[in-house]
Chains A and B, each alone.
Chain A
Amino acid sequence: MKERSFMKSLSAGLVPAVPYLWLGVFFLVPFLIVLKISLSDPAVAQPPYRPLFEWSDIMGFFSALDFENFELLTQDDLYFRATLSSVRIAAISTLLLLLVGFPIAYGMARAPERHRSLLVALVILPFWTSFLIRIYAWIAILKPEGLLTQALSGIGLISEPIEILNTEWAVYIGIVYAYLPFMVLPLYATLEKMDDTLLEAALDLGSTPWRSFWTITVPLAMPGIIAGSLLCFIPAVGEFVIPDLLGGSETLMIGRQLWSEFFSNRDWPLASSVAILLLIILVLPIVIYRDVEARRLETRP
């Protein structure tokens, strides 16, 4: 009986232990390695950094610490500009996403109940198709002789081809397009739950529809607004594919910088430093997001 219950508690303990261990090995440890390598010297070798991670040599670990890469990051204003421009692009995109996403989510929440699940499915469906393909589709639309120019000149709105591809505008369009479901769904979730009689009560008490929207609807939708904004902002800061395919060489973004340090310049320590820099920018939003999500999931009735 004793042994049995021991076996039982052992097997019960496995349930959290297995995924815990997996994430520890494949998420936490790699993370620490990035931190370590960001503090090492580059080398012309395979792998192109030195020293190789030494498991036993703890003292060596500390003595080999080298902030050279970070000094480089602070000296070369390329990284500073890339950081600023990443945050700016992500922030503007998030704002645009809110402006585009809110009316859609609001329309969905006010649609007849029998149509709502279809509308949700329609928002999710593009998400299931490849991200890369959806960005690719915009190249054909935005390029100088592309479909947008053809359409606009066809109806006589413009006479000259418009230059959108390879500008920051193309990046905004790409991010808004690709991330729209992540903004619409959390917004819809909070708006759909909202009690309509609250708005009626506000109107009944003499508030205009416009003021009711700002004093009732927006505050009650705040959890959705925060969740949606973080869900879009955080990955947008580190976005690589969209600026790379739509933004042209002019658009500076930090995710792209990391990619080129790694693949083109083969400077792994510098790439790791850029990763750490990116993470420092995002650590606060990620922590807030985790708290918001954990609370949402755990306080559900």
Chain B
Amino acid sequence: MTRRLSVFNVTSLVLGFAFLYLPILLLVIYSFNASRLVTVWGGFSTQWYGALFRNQALMEAAWVTLRIALLSASIATVLGTLAALALTRYGRFTGRTLFTGMIYAPMVMPEVITGLSLLLFFVAIDLDRGFWTVTLAHTTLTMCFVTVVVQSRLMTFDRSLEEAAMDLGAPPLRTFFAVTLPLIAPSIVAGFLLAFTLSLDDLVIASFNTGPGATTLPIRIYSQVRLGLSPEINAASTILIGLVTLGVISATLLSKRSVLRSQRNAH
């Protein structure tokens, strides 16, 4: 191997990651600002965190968002896994082209279109907008992402493992649960996490499809941000960032530990 990092490579990496992380870092720092003016440092304080937890509307929105994300990500995981199986295991079934089109389009299509079209659909079938319409909308969007994540795992899946299970006497359904599912489980979990985060994060589609009593956290934050910077939002953001970072780090450590364990067993 002759791959060597040149000065140019190192510089672009350093600048690139600084660009990615500096804004987030500043956001976190200013969440501990004592001053109400977000961009003027007025000393260290945690008062905005207290204010945050006393903010009833924000807390409620967080709870709604969490419920929607859990529910929609769960349904999307089931649907997305089925879709991935259909695309990898069912060959050229009728309407396959339309099917792949419907999988890829929502992922790149501007959210305003998806949001608007779903809303008009819900109005047409006379479904009251609220918790359920946002959940259905999020399920539709995120199942496509789950499909792609699981599909790329299934593409590299060694089919002879399934043949071996059947050869040893396991009927197709038992083969699926004993061999296929455990082996694609990590990609299904990854798909679920992706769907969960996308749902937590979504502003546009939720704005179109929400109704009374279903104001999600991004909608609440957005309406506050439009009114100007608020240190409370900084505090809320810091908590969210902290949770995500914690989640990603523990997931990485978990997978690393299982690798280490298997290596230790080898000796």
User: Do A and B touch each other in the complex, judged by CB within 8 A?
Assistant: yes
Q: Which residues in A have some Cβ–Cβ distance to B below 8 Å? A: 15-16, 18-20, 22-24, 26-31, 33-34, 37, 47, 52-53, 100, 103-104, 106-108, 110-113, 119, 121-123, 125-126, 128-134, 136-141, 143, 145-147, 150, 177, 180, 184, 196, 200, 230-231, 234-235, 237-241, 245, 255, 258-259, 262-263, 268, 271-272, 275, 278-279, 282, 285-286, 289-290, 293-294, 297-298, 300
Residues of A within 8 A of B225 (CB): 132, 136, 139, 245
Contact partner, B26, options A31, A141, A285, Cβ 8 Å: A141
Contact partner, B27, options A22, A128, A133, A237, Cβ 8 Å: A133
Interface contact B118-A290, CB-CB below 8 Å? no
Interface contact A297-B218, CB-CB below 8 Å? no
Residues of A within 8 A of B19 (CB): 100, 177, 180
Residues of A within 8 A of B8 (CB): 103, 107
Interface contact A129-B121, CB-CB below 8 Å? no
Interface contact B112-A278, CB-CB below 8 Å? yes
| Min distance, Cβ B259 to any Cβ of chain A, angstroms | 11
> Which chain A residue has the least Cβ–Cβ distance from B106?
A27
Contact partner, A22, options B16, B40, B140, B207, Cβ 8 Å: B140
> Which chain A residue has the least Cβ–Cβ distance from B242?
A129
Contacts A133-B240, A140-B38 given; 9 further ones with Cβ under 8 A? A27-B140, A111-B5, A122-B20, A129-B24, A133-B221, A137-B26, A271-B116, A272-B120, A294-B104
Stretch in B51-59, B75-83, B161-169, B178-186 with 4+ CB within 8 Å of A: B75-83
Residues of B within 8 A of A104 (CB): 12-13, 16-17
Residues of B within 8 A of A271 (CB): 116
The answer for the CA separation of A282 and B203 in the assembled complex, in Å, is: 21
Q: Which 8 A-B pairs have the closest CB atoms?
A: A238-B110, A16-B86, A103-B12, A30-B121, A19-B83, A104-B16, A30-B117, A107-B9
Residues of B within 8 A of A237 (CB): 110
Interface contact B221-A33, CB-CB below 8 Å? no
Residues of B within 8 A of A245 (CB): 225-226
The answer for the CA separation of A59 and B10 in the assembled complex, in Å, is: 66
What total count of A-B pairs have CB within 8 Å?
252
Contact partner, B241, options A30, A129, A140, A279, Cβ 8 Å: A129
Dominant SS among interface residues on chain B: helix
Q: A126-B24, A129-B241 are in contact. Are A110 and B5 (CB under 8 A)?
A: yes
Interface contact B229-A139, CB-CB below 8 Å? yes
Residues of A within 8 A of B101 (CB): 290
Interface contact B82-A297, CB-CB below 8 Å? no
Interface contact A33-B39, CB-CB below 8 Å? no
Q: Can you list 19 contacts pairing A with B, beta carbon distance less than 8 Å?
A: A22-B143, A30-B117, A34-B116, A100-B19, A125-B248, A129-B24, A132-B203, A134-B23, A140-B39, A180-B19, A196-B1, A237-B110, A245-B225, A255-B110, A258-B112, A272-B116, A286-B108, A289-B104, A300-B156
| Min distance, Cβ A39 to any Cβ of chain B, angstroms | 13
| Min distance, Cβ B11 to any Cβ of chain A, angstroms | 8
| Min distance, Cβ B72 to any Cβ of chain A, angstroms | 12
Residues of A within 8 A of B63 (CB): none
Interface contact A33-B117, CB-CB below 8 Å? yes
Interface contact A20-B12, CB-CB below 8 Å? no
Interface contact B155-A129, CB-CB below 8 Å? no
The answer for the CA separation of A65 and B245 in the assembled complex, in Å, is: 52
> Which chain B residue has the least Cβ–Cβ distance from A292?
B104
> Which chain B residue has the least Cβ–Cβ distance from A256?
B112
| Min distance, Cβ B140 to any Cβ of chain A, angstroms | 4
Task: Please report which residues of chain B, range 113-155, place their CB below 8 angstroms from some CB of chain A when the two chains form the complex.
Answer: 113-114, 116-118, 120-121, 123-124, 136-137, 139-140, 143, 147-148, 151-152, 155
Interface contact A297-B248, CB-CB below 8 Å? no
